Structure 1
Amino acid sequence: MNETIKLLQNHRTYRQFDTDHQLPNEQLQAILQAARQAPSWMNGQAYSIIVIDDPTIREQLVAWNPGNPHIAASSVFLLFLADLQRTKQVADRKDTPYLIDEGYQPLLIATTDASIALQSASIAAESLGLGTVISGSVRKDSQKIADLLHLPDYVYPVAGLSIGKPIVEMKVKPRLPETAVIHYNGYQPYSTELITAYDKTMTAFGEARETKTWSDKFAGFYSHTPDQGFDQFLKDQHLTK
């Protein structure tokens, strides 16, 4: 097995970092370059990355996300944005309509571009012996973050990436059974017993931060109305109607 596949198959999330570790600039630049070289739809590169190393800004982000202290404790925090402002500027310059609020495809394109860039950054950081954790919770504070970081219209947070030197070793977390996720030549039904078995696997894994089974966690999460605040934020950013 080559080293890249080995790295990917041994991914684990780290949340405790050495607060004194300084990320060398050459490593940061290597991570950013890897992110920028990520594939994107039609080479549109509909994303931007904000490098946040200002302690005051990161402490404010933690104040809004107290369950994610790693945002401040890590060496650097990268915020990945879906960015449709750049193509708005192109449309204005070419004097063409900009109809991205007529459907959801532009949002999917920009979110996917940002997510792929984030994953490339995470892999690059791990290849350097660093630890990472992705924070999707930044979306619940989109308007506050937009105000704090001066985000223009047509831009929204997708997720953040904390990067640092881990101080607590983590085990590789079990994933759903292969037959529940991998399909060949069409979607194939599978027994719900696979999910029940996975609940038992995760319970045995015993991650302290997990207080519910996988099934209970997501049954509960999707039983609530999705975040209406984020919907309104997208409207305010002129991304949806």
Structure 2
Amino acid sequence: MNETMRLLTNRRTYRNFDQKYQLSDLDLQQILDAARQAPSWMNGQFYSVIVIKDEAIRKQLIEWNPTNPHILESSVFLLFLGDLQRTKMVSETYQKPYLVDETIESIIMATTDAALALENAVIAVDSLGLGSVVVGSIRKFSKEISELLELPDFTLPLFGLSIGKPIVEMRVKPRLPEATIVHYDKYQPYSYELIEAYDKTMEHFAEARETKLWSQKFADYFATKPIMVVDQVARLKKIVK
């Protein structure tokens, strides 16, 4: 197994960081360069990254995300946006209609491009011997974050990434059985017993922050009215009707 495969198959999330550690400008630039080189549909690059070092901003983010203190304790926090503002400028320059509000495709493109850039950043961080944790809960406060950071229309906060030097070693988290994820040629039906087996695996893994079975957690989540980004930010009606 080569070093790249070793990094990918041993990736883990870190939430506890050395608060005295400062990420060097060189390492930060390498992470950003890796993120920007991620695949992108039609090379559209429908995302932006905000590097947040300011302590006051990060403290405010924690007020909205109190279960994520690493936003401040990490060396730097990256905020990944879906960004359709850039192509709006292009459309205006060419005097073309900008019809992103007529399809969900634009949201899919922006989210996918941002996610690919995020993953490149995660692997770059690991390659530098550092650690990171992805923060998806920022979408619950997208309106507030948009105002705080003075984001333009046609942008939306999607997820953040705390980066730092880990002080607590983490185990590699088990994933769902391969048969529930990987299919060849056709989608292959599988027994619910595989999900039950995964519940037992995760119970045995005993991650302290998990208080429910994996299956119960998502049964509850999808039974709750959504409060994420598209549901609460009125200005995104310019993107999705």
Q: Could you say which TM-score interval applies, normalised by the shorter chain?
A: over 0.9
Mapping 1:24-103, distance limit 5 Å: 24-103=24-103
Structure 1: gaps of 5 or more residues: none
Structure 2: gaps of 5 or more residues: none
Deviation at 1:229, TM superposition (A): 6.1
Whole-Å Cα distance in 2 between the matches of residues 186 and 94 of structure 1? 43
Whole-Å Cα distance in 2 between the matches of residues 28 and 240 of structure 1? 34
TM-score by length of 1: 0.98
Deviations 1:113-132 (A, max 9, x none): 00000000010011000000
Mapping 1:163-178, distance limit 5 Å: 163-178=163-178
Whole-Å Cα distance in 2 between the matches of residues 157 and 45 of structure 1? 15
Whole-Å Cα distance in 1 between the matches of residues 90 and 121 of structure 2? 27
Asked if 1 retains the 8 angstrom alpha-carbon contact of 2:48 and 2:114, the reply is: yes
Deviations 1:200-227 (A, max 9, x none): 0000011111111101100010011112
Q: Does residue 19 of the first structure (1) align with residue 19 of the second (2)?
A: yes
Amino acid at match of 2:24: P
Q: Secondary structure at the match of 2:67?
A: coil
Asked if 1 retains the 8 angstrom alpha-carbon contact of 2:13 and 2:131, the reply is: yes
| Cα separation, partners in 2 of 1:21 and 1:237, compared to 1, 3 Å | farther
- The aligned residue for residue 131 of structure 1 is 131
Deviation at 1:185, TM superposition (A): 0.4
Whole-Å Cα distance in 1 between the matches of residues 15 and 234 of structure 2? 29
Q: Secondary structure at the match of 2:11?
A: coil
- The aligned residue for residue 218 of structure 1 is 218
Whole-Å Cα distance in 2 between the matches of residues 64 and 229 of structure 1? 14
Deviation at 1:148, TM superposition (A): 0.5
Whole-Å Cα distance in 2 between the matches of residues 79 and 223 of structure 1? 28
Residue-pair matches, total = 241
115-124 or 223-232: which moved more?
223-232
Q: Secondary structure at the match of 1:19?
A: coil
Asked if 2 retains the 8 angstrom alpha-carbon contact of 1:155 and 1:237, the reply is: no
Deviation at 1:235, TM superposition (A): 4.4
Whole-Å Cα distance in 2 between the matches of residues 61 and 176 of structure 1? 32
Whole-Å Cα distance in 1 between the matches of residues 43 and 33 of structure 2? 15
Whole-Å Cα distance in 2 between the matches of residues 235 and 5 of structure 1? 42
